[in-house]
Structure 1
Amino acid sequence: MKVFRQIGWAAALIPLLWACEAYEMPPIIPQTSSNISSPAAGASVILKKDDADKTDIEFTVTAADFGATGTVKYQLQMDLPNSNFAAPVKLGAETESNIVKVNVKELNDALLAKGLPFAKAANVQFRVVASINLALLPIIGEVTTLSVTPYDATVPMPLMYVPGDYQGWDPANPKTVLFSENFDKNFKGFVHILGGSREFKLTEGPNWDVNYGDTGANKTLDPDGDNIKVAADGTYEINVNLTAKTYTIGAVKRWGIVGDATPGGWDADTPMDVFDKVTNSLKITTNLKAGELKFRANNNWDFNFGGSNGALTAGGANIPVAAAGNYTITLSFDPAGAVTYTLVKN
């Protein structure tokens, strides 16, 4: 019996051995990335403002090898050190050449948008992304670090305009806008929607050429769509993802003043229910006592502002009122998230 069992095992192994001899591993296709050869790593690049929009920096890149024949194109990516290219900026048009031309103004604007100070050298990382017109993934090259000095330039943040019944359906009003702080087609801002139908739309420019509404009220933007409407008067934070064509509207906030200088003391807000559509600010004219006040929303302390000299910060210090009298008070949500106030005795 033992002999027959051994013969049986041998017979079972023979097909497996034949199968192993017939199997061949698929070939591994070697691939080579494209890297920057000029400017050399560590080189200093000083950007000049004169004719920046007409001047290019030429980056020489090595050829990528996908291990297959096709049309290969190259493009640069830029980001700051320690960012791991989490939000890279694409520079230069895709090209089949080994020279990628990057416009000086384009690069300077991107660096300032990343928060680099002008007229000061800073390390900046670049890499090449090579692609091919085949069903193959792009190849990302090695990182090259250069010392780059941006020039002084004012880079206006991209805007999205919010015309509506609350401000006279005026898309050219520069105060009722949202801002793309990261230049990434994501816009946000605060809009005071008080009075009228509380309907509004969103436009890409200070005109009606490209406008968005929401047909179906499903939080999706539709070109020339229906007016968007909020249910109650108040201040709203609006966020727009223009790439995905989606938007969100934060919870309504009704702003007021509170403090021992105000009619309601520290227990009840005095509402700021006058809206100046020209300046996009809230106002109130009321009698104040000598004392202190703050701005807060919805009659609770979840959202409150304090400060001094016209500047406000969330949870900031109480604002002193030196003398009793009749005052006009304004509250403004300004560009890039700044919040300011005025306190004028009449």
Structure 2
Amino acid sequence: MMLMLCVLLAAAACKKDGEQYTLQPGGFSGGALSASSTTIVLTRAAENDTALSFAWGAAAFGGATVVGYTLEIDVPADTSGANAWGQAKTFNAGNQPQGYSFAGKDLNNLLSAMGLPAGATSQVAVRVKAAVPQYNGAASTVTPVYSNTLVVTITTFSSNLYVPGDYQGWNPGSAPMFPPIEGKAGMYEGYVNMPGSGGPYYFKFTNSPDWDHTNYGDGGNGTFSTDGNAAGLSVPTGGYYYLTANLNTNQWTATAVTWGIIGDATPGGWDADTPMAYDAAEQVWKVTAQMKKNGSFKFRANNAWALDFGTDANGKLVYADNPFLGYTAGLNNLGVPEDGTYTIRLDLHLSGQYTYSVTKN
């Protein structure tokens, strides 16, 4: 009887312990990271095709360990030093070393989101991180390992945005065009007049003057969807709108605006805007007002210091305050050469090419 009890206890102990193994320092033993090509030229015509693929072998940490793979892409300048790879874009590649591929448009948008110039040739560094994930989602206590680093040279294409909608018959070919903002890759802004008193009015952004490429519809909560069947973006009623699009964050805004002039050169001084009226035929805002030489003025939207223009050292209109682009310090106010009645025009119909004129009557 005692012998049988010992045998049963021994069997139970074996079943409880199960198979045991010890984690070891990890390493890529199944093959180095490779790319389908290390020199890529992206084109709009092939934006939906696979442009670049990566492959790598398995990493091992000992035993039957589950390994998670993450593809990391960064600019070469960020791959050394104390914070190396700290700005890398990361892509979850799952638990199998099967590789990762990018369509041309996604790769083009990625480089834009990394702040690299559109329509130019840039280099990116690529590596794969292999880690042992914890079953409960906590941070892993196992030190991850990294593959070799590849440097890939990519030439992107410049991508403008077009704004077709209800207000112009949904024709991208004749829609207003927003070029990328200089120095702010993936960000766009501009003005569109959507006349009418009803609503809502719908529109979309497209990255080509047609419906054959990417178009951006409503993703909900102020975000984009690149699903071609997604509903249009919308504004509640007709009006003159300031539109912004950020392809880095997939967010957009539409703000109804009216414009005026304010300052001690104007009839209302610095306490009250002198309103301008929109001339749809000329696509300009204008006002005729009695102006003073001994003073200055600025263009201001919606009677508030949230969206307004000053001028730079070259006399070019530049946003002083802008919720999308931030604050610009050191700008000048505008003025008139002598007292008198002036017609003042503000032309915002070409995105990024904003102009004004001051004409004495």
Q: Which range, TM-score by smaller chain? A: 0.5 to 0.7
Query: What residue is the counterpart of 2:319 in the other structure?
Result: 313
2:163 maps to which of 161, 164, 186: 161
8 Å CA contact 2:285, 2:347 repeated in 1: yes
Judged with a 3 Å threshold, the aligned counterparts in structure 2 of structure 1 residues 173 and 325 are, in CA distance, closer, same or farther, namely farther
Task: State yes or no: 1:342 paired with 2:356.
Answer: yes
Query: What residue is the counterpart of 2:328 in the other structure?
Result: none
Task: State yes or no: 1:175 paired with 2:190.
Answer: no
Q: Distance in 2 between matches of 1:207 and 1:48?
A: 25
Residue type of the partner of 1:127? Answer: R
Q: Distance in 2 between matches of 1:255 and 1:267?
A: 15
Deviation at 1:292, TM superposition (A): 1.9
Query: What residue is the counterpart of 1:115 in the other structure?
Result: 115
Query: What residue is the counterpart of 2:5 in the other structure?
Result: none
Deviation at 1:341, TM superposition (A): 2.6
1:54-133 equivalences under 5 Å are 61-65=56-60, 76-80=71-75, 81=78, 82=83, 84-85=86-87, 87-88=89-90, 96=98, 114-116=114-116, 124-128=124-128
Judged with a 3 Å threshold, the aligned counterparts in structure 2 of structure 1 residues 341 and 107 are, in CA distance, closer, same or farther, namely same
- Give the number of aligned pairs: 299
Task: State yes or no: 1:27 paired with 2:20.
Answer: yes
Query: What residue is the counterpart of 1:10 in the other structure?
Result: none
Residue type of the partner of 2:317? Answer: A
1:284 maps to which of 286, 290, 293: 286
Residue type of the partner of 1:206? Answer: P
Q: Distance in 2 between matches of 1:115 and 1:226?
A: 28
Task: State yes or no: 1:266 paired with 2:270.
Answer: yes
8 Å CA contact 1:211, 1:224 repeated in 2: no
1:295-310 equivalences under 5 Å are 295-308=299-312, 309-310=315-316
Query: What residue is the counterpart of 2:324 in the other structure?
Result: none
The superposition leaves residues 230-267 of structure 1 with CA deviations (integer Å, 9 ceiling, x where unpaired) of 246343445578998xx664553322221233343333
Task: State yes or no: 1:233 paired with 2:233.
Answer: no
Q: Distance in 2 between matches of 1:188 and 1:327?
A: 30
Q: Distance in 2 between matches of 1:17 and 1:27?
A: 17
1:4-23 equivalences under 5 Å are 23=16
Structure number with larger C-alpha Rg: 1
Residue type of the partner of 2:320? Answer: A
Q: Distance in 1 between matches of 2:202 and 2:231?
A: 11
Q: Distance in 2 between matches of 1:306 and 1:251?
A: 20
Q: Distance in 1 between matches of 2:156 and 2:52?
A: 21
8 Å CA contact 2:71, 2:126 repeated in 1: yes
Residue type of the partner of 2:278? Answer: V
Q: Distance in 2 between matches of 1:277 and 1:23?
A: 84
The superposition leaves residues 298-322 of structure 1 with CA deviations (integer Å, 9 ceiling, x where unpaired) of 2132332212422313244311222
> Structure 1 stretch 282-291 or stretch 109-118: which is displaced more?
109-118
Q: Distance in 2 between matches of 1:111 and 1:255?
A: 36
Deviation at 1:294, TM superposition (A): 0.5
CA RMSD of aligned residues (A): 5.9
Secondary structure of residue in 2 paired with 1:172: helix
Query: What residue is the counterpart of 1:195 in the other structure?
Result: 195
Deviation at 1:62, TM superposition (A): 4.5
Query: What residue is the counterpart of 1:43 in the other structure?
Result: none
The superposition leaves residues 128-181 of structure 1 with CA deviations (integer Å, 9 ceiling, x where unpaired) of 2679xxx9x9x9851656777x68x6741353534232x564423453559696
The superposition leaves residues 203-252 of structure 1 with CA deviations (integer Å, 9 ceiling, x where unpaired) of 5343456877779x9878793747834246343445578998xx664553
Residue type of the partner of 1:78? Answer: I
Q: Distance in 2 between matches of 1:29 and 1:333?
A: 67
Which runs of no fewer than 5 residues in structure 1 stay unpaired?
A: 1-15, 40-45
Residue type of the partner of 1:341? Answer: T
Q: Distance in 2 between matches of 1:22 and 1:263?
A: 92
Q: Distance in 2 between matches of 1:276 and 1:264?
A: 25
Q: Distance in 2 between matches of 1:17 and 1:38?
A: 47
Judged with a 3 Å threshold, the aligned counterparts in structure 2 of structure 1 residues 238 and 23 are, in CA distance, closer, same or farther, namely same
Q: Distance in 1 between matches of 2:205 and 2:117?
A: 31
Q: Distance in 2 between matches of 1:116 and 1:21?
A: 59
Secondary structure of residue in 2 paired with 1:326: strand
Which runs of no fewer than 5 residues in structure 2 stay unpaired?
A: 1-8, 138-142, 322-330
8 Å CA contact 1:259, 1:294 repeated in 2: yes
